[in-house]
Structure 1
């Protein structure tokens, strides 16, 4: 039995061709610093992509060797990564990013600088053989209590977010790396993390919805791909948007006119895997119009890939999933690989005057320009260093537990051996103040409006040490007690940490 898809594929049902087609739409993760044999085998069979995480990153040379092995197994495979800059970094997870994140760029509001930062990130990724960046975040963050977006957004104004989303896309793709605007149709007006549960977003009229304005800008800038959000949109469908044809096809394709690659957010996330499981989620996502299935944040093995392949093949064989839809998805993955080759060639030809891979002058400039200071700036003696008290909240799962605050790295580089004292609740204040005796005090906070204990701890510290400098690395709006010097960084990247150290200890 055979069929021919509308885009020209001839596929024999039940044959290796159908398995190959199912493999083409999957982007799994894996564990380890080298590609395991199961991954290389499935790449040779037609696996369409691979997602890299912090667990796969040790050094630039190691990453370049890893991506070369992946491309040797399948030259058309897309090697993808979450490299947003700012708080979400995989390449620099051990130190924090050399580039500030979106909120810092939005605070500066210089689109040429945003484009330059994205171009530097793209140059670094391209040099290592990475093809697709799951960035930029195009969400309009209007909810201060948002537990997963926050500083990953350019801001709360749709027009500002739109112009910087477009600039970020342009800069990244000029460096030869495919951009991915996320999380469609918007994850900024939520108080729930879709890694754990199903948030709800009121889209309103799609023609005028503010959440879609940045996605329109991304598409106008030529974004190669768009990533779905696992959010419920009332009035359309009770399921996550990733699984809804009216959103992933009706809105994204028919409404916005997008013809590129539609990716799912991680299917292992709770909003999808919780009620459905990864395999059923994969089938529903492809039915909805998703072309590439991201799997592997917590699931990274051959069994997961084979289970999803079997589910897709079974859905085609049963007639539930039209062969044409799966073939169309596979062709869009292949088209993205061809676009990658075109962008990489163009970037190489235009290399003169473009950012040097791995260099971050625009990143340093942007981080410094983003700083906002209220109060006097006490200068720290560079020989002794400050006592840094870091008030630690649970990590955002998108950031990862192994990525330190960039200020930690910056302090250690300026004063070797000096490490912040981490405080997780009010009980740690006494020890922190004792350690600070005779030294300047820097208190690092993040989203104290979401963690009430932080505000009371800061008040205690400032009462005891009125000379305290409070460094806020999260979403802005909170203020420390009157009289304290307040430094706002708009993110916790290493670049932002360096800017703070340069400010307070020039």
Structure 2
């Protein structure tokens, strides 16, 4: 296997909805893959409640067995999951409880940070080293995707809580992720299954950068891009493949950490293109770690080959691939 192909594998971030490694994921990790996202199924995502059989069968021992196996196969790796207030907490009853949205608003900031730290310390004990949280979005209008899934409805309050969440996670010795940049105050549909737009100008979007900036200043190690289509850029494309929005993140918000896409096979991102095209576009745009859903796991090899081919054909600079892999290294452990 070429060194370029191993680098290509390292930028892929497959989702598994089960606490297990399929044969495809084992192969992925032995070929150079170094990141696994432990996700939830559609109903769990929608309700924020884990299935009863998951709660029954997943134990600290089963989590540690899987995360240790990932590291045995891949060496240092990114092992990530959601730990959201008002949305999905993938580790359900296996960590110190997250506060509810209402409890969060009533807490002193130090108490909130301590509660987040306790949860993150328990996650670390299970082998997790990256939380795909907090949600830094603020809903300001029609939003079938994120309504009731954010920490607050006020920009200043979400900014305060995002920074406090990041500080609490850092105290526990693992990494946090701000999502879903550049913010989705209004969305016309569900990006996973529809061509959903954020129909705002860049000037109208700018106030919603504030929670991301607060989290970045607090030390967030990663930022997760939106899968919605942003009319603020030309041509209008998904946030996950927008070089303009990633440039804003890097230049205006001074973010130097790991840039993660949303699921690249979401309808708003992939559109009518092939996924092997879109993974290359995401890297070309400046993303580092490329999320693909469980449905794409059987095709991880083909996606890695597409990235290698793009480098060979000089459509993707080798330096861009190396930079992405180095960003992943800084979070993996």
TM-score higher than 0.5: yes
TM-score of the superposed pair, with normalisation by structure 1: 0.59
1:185 corresponds to 2:171: no
Contact 2:134–2:165 (8 Å) recurs in 1: yes
Q: CA deviation at 1:135?
A: 0.2
1:137 corresponds to 2:135: yes
- 1:115, 1:96 → 2: CA distance? 15
Per the alignment, residue 123 of structure 1 pairs with 121
Contact 2:130–2:331 (8 Å) recurs in 1: no
- Inter-CA distance 47–110: structure 2 relative to 1 (3 Å threshold): same
**Secondary structure of 2:166's aligned partner:** helix
- Inter-CA distance 224–203: structure 2 relative to 1 (3 Å threshold): farther
Question: Pairwise mapping of residues 185-224 of structure 1 onto structure 2 (< 5 A)?
Answer: 185-197=182-194, 198-205=196-203, 209-224=206-221
Q: CA deviation at 1:264?
A: 0.4
Tell me, which stretches of 5 or more residues in structure 2 are unaligned? 42-53
1:156 corresponds to 2:142: no
**Secondary structure of 2:184's aligned partner:** coil
Per the alignment, residue 262 of structure 1 pairs with 259
**Secondary structure of 1:282's aligned partner:** helix
- Inter-CA distance 256–66: structure 2 relative to 1 (3 Å threshold): same
- 1:134, 1:32 → 2: CA distance? 17
- 1:189, 1:155 → 2: CA distance? 15
- Give the alignment partner of residue 33 of structure 1, picking from 16, 19, 28: 19
- 1:285, 1:42 → 2: CA distance? 20
Task: Decide which moves more: 306-315 or 160-169.
Answer: 306-315
Contact 2:17–2:40 (8 Å) recurs in 1: no
Q: Deviations over 1:76-107 (max 9, x none)?
A: 110111121443122228x9993234x43553
Q: Which has the higher helix share?
A: 2
1:169 corresponds to 2:166: yes
- Give the alignment partner of residue 49 of structure 1, picking from 17, 23, 35: 35
Contact 1:86–1:99 (8 Å) recurs in 2: no
1:113 corresponds to 2:111: yes
Tell which structure's C-alpha radius of gyration is larger: 1
- 2:106, 2:140 → 1: CA distance? 18
Contact 2:80–2:132 (8 Å) recurs in 1: yes
**Secondary structure of 1:88's aligned partner:** coil
Per the alignment, residue 289 of structure 1 pairs with 286
Per the alignment, residue 46 of structure 2 pairs with none
- Give the alignment partner of residue 307 of structure 2, picking from 312, 328, 333: 312
Q: Deviations over 1:187-227 (max 9, x none)?
A: 23224221122221425338x82110001001100000000
Per the alignment, residue 82 of structure 2 pairs with 82
- 2:8, 2:35 → 1: CA distance? 12
**Secondary structure of 2:19's aligned partner:** coil
- 2:120, 2:19 → 1: CA distance? 22
Displaced runs of 4+ in structure 1, greater than 4 A? none
Q: CA deviation at 1:120?
A: 2.1
Q: Deviations over 1:130-180 (max 9, x none)?
A: 11111000001222x422212321222111110110000110121122100
Per the alignment, residue 415 of structure 1 pairs with none
Q: Deviations over 1:46-67 (max 9, x none)?
A: 2120111247872221111110
- Inter-CA distance 85–200: structure 2 relative to 1 (3 Å threshold): closer
Contact 2:156–2:211 (8 Å) recurs in 1: yes
- 1:282, 1:220 → 2: CA distance? 29
**Secondary structure of 2:223's aligned partner:** strand
Contact 1:89–1:97 (8 Å) recurs in 2: no
- 1:84, 1:213 → 2: CA distance? 19
- 1:324, 1:104 → 2: CA distance? 46
- 2:88, 2:96 → 1: CA distance? 8
- 2:5, 2:183 → 1: CA distance? 33
> How many matched pairs?
317
TM-score of the superposed pair, with normalisation by structure 2: 0.88
